[in-house]
Amino acid sequence: MIFIRLILIVFVSSVITTLNAQNYSEKQKQLELQREKLQAEIKQINSLLFQNTAKEKNLISQTEDLSLKISVRMKLIATNNQQANILQNQINLNEREINNLSNELTILKDDYAKMIQNSYQSKSSKSRLMFLLSSEDFSQAYKRLQYLRQYSEYRTNQGNKIVEKAMTLKETNDILTNQRNKKNEIASDNKQIKKVLQNEQKSQEDIILSLKRKGISLALEIKKKQKRSATIDREIDRLIKEAIAESNKNKDPLSNEFNLTPELKKLSKNFVLNKGKLPWPVDKGIVIQGFGTQPHSIIKTAVIKSNGVTIATVKDANIRAVFDGEVMSILSFKGSNPTILIRHGNYISTYKNIGKVFVKKGDKILSKQVIGEAFTHPSSGKTTIQFGIFEGIKPINPKIWIYKM
């Protein structure tokens, strides 16, 4: 009874250990993918924002770029810490498993040794024969024969279990060694990342101090930038409302939705069907500012409102339409670069900060068609575009529409 209870305890413990190991393994895979993604993001940030060493970069732009890189690097440190914690939990589980396996192996070996000793003391085949011949009747002899066979099979199984358990123990030890090596590797990696992070934070502090010495208010510059952006956003809103009113002039001029022809309904439906699969507006880029209302990365009291996302890209990058449509308008303001609006039925995609425009109002556009060239700032050397998507007059987050944004 005690032996059966021991077997049940070992079995349940083994099942729990296996399930925990599977869960940890899945989390570990997810974190490793996240780690690789963040490392790739840092490489892109360095490539797109920190390669322009020949020019004197705008200090405000430089500190914002550093803030982005610091943010991603901190996420990488956090991911590494999570990985290290999971590895430590796996190490603890495997250490317990090794201890259990060692104990089980000892019990199996002791049990097997006793069986061999008993078999030797019973003088093997002669003793077994006497055991059978001393039966009182055929039925008892048959039962004794079955017992001897089962005993022989049990002994063979015990021998096999010892071999299997020894192999499992070795495999678990190998896994444990790999986990310890991986944890040490992550710890070493994190140490280097933290060192680089401290240098970047120090550089950012020096730049902010330099701005103060020059009498440049970062908060004021952010406010000016937001004001310019708000002017363009108001004009985009006005143009969309005018287009909606024009489409409803013979139906309901006060409607807030486009009155779509069958052709535009089909285009709009196809646009929706491609949600999450639309191509990026540039071939190579990284999002450096997200959608919606958010605190500024440095001046936390300053609020940034964005109707789209800002993408850093390579110099002279081609800007591509994300879907079939028609050029609805091309905006141009004094002190700002052109903005292209493309209509896709009830949806509109916007492309701001264009250096060169290759299309005109009314042009029919195909998906991935080049519509312009991104503007490169002469002092910072940074090339960016602001990309947005509207459903009617409502701005929506491009991240959920563009593939892996």
Tens digits of residue pLDDT in 335-390: 889 999 999 999 999 999 999 999 999 999 999 999 999 999 887 889 999 999 99
pLDDT of residue 13: 53
Whether 129 and 192 share a structural domain = yes
Whether 64 and 119 share a structural domain = yes
* Position 320 in a domain: yes
Helix (H, G, I), strand (E, B) or coil at 404: coil
d(CA 219, CA 217): 5
- Tens digit of each residue's pLDDT (9 = 90 or more) over 49-106: 887 654 456 788 888 899 999 999 999 999 999 999 999 988 888 888 888 878 877 8
d(CA 318, CA 281): 8
Whether 155 and 261 share a structural domain = no
383 Cα distance to chain centroid: 25
- Give the CATH number for residue 284: 2.70.70.10
Greatest extent of the chain over all pairs of C-alpha atoms, in Å: 115
Q: Are 218 and 298 in contact (CB under 8 A)?
A: yes
Which residue in this structure is represented by tokens 């063979």?
A: 156
Whether 242 and 387 share a structural domain = yes
d(CA 173, CA 178): 9
Whether 303 and 357 share a structural domain = yes
* Position 10 in a domain: yes
Q: Are 362 and 389 in contact (CB under 8 A)?
A: no
* Position 21 in a domain: yes
Helix (H, G, I), strand (E, B) or coil at 371: strand
Q: What is the DSSP letter of 128?
A: H
Q: How many domains does the chain divide into?
A: 2
271 is in which domain, residue-wise? Answer: 218-400
| Residue after which a domain boundary falls, among 184, 213, 242 | 213
Average model confidence (pLDDT) across the chain: 85
* Position 263 in a domain: yes
* Position 201 in a domain: yes
| Residue after which a domain boundary falls, among 213, 238, 268 | 213
Whether 204 and 224 share a structural domain = no
Q: How many CB atoms lie within 10 A of CB 179?
A: 20
| Residue after which a domain boundary falls, among 164, 185, 213 | 213
* Position 405 in a domain: no
Whether 90 and 206 share a structural domain = yes
CA distances (Å), 347 to each of 148, 325, 344, 385, 395, in order? Answer: 82, 9, 5, 19, 10
Helix (H, G, I), strand (E, B) or coil at 304: strand
d(CA 162, CA 154): 12
pLDDT of residue 117: 61
Q: Are 354 and 374 in contact (CB under 8 A)?
A: yes
pTM, two decimals, is 0.74
Whether 326 and 394 share a structural domain = yes
Type and span of the H or E element at 227: helix 218-247
Q: Are 299 and 221 in contact (CB under 8 A)?
A: no
Whether 205 and 252 share a structural domain = no
Going by pLDDT thresholds of 50, 70 and 90, the confidence category of residue 112 is low
Whether 142 and 283 share a structural domain = no
Q: What is the DSSP letter of 402?
A: B
Helix (H, G, I), strand (E, B) or coil at 137: coil
Whether 235 and 89 share a structural domain = no
Whether 207 and 293 share a structural domain = no
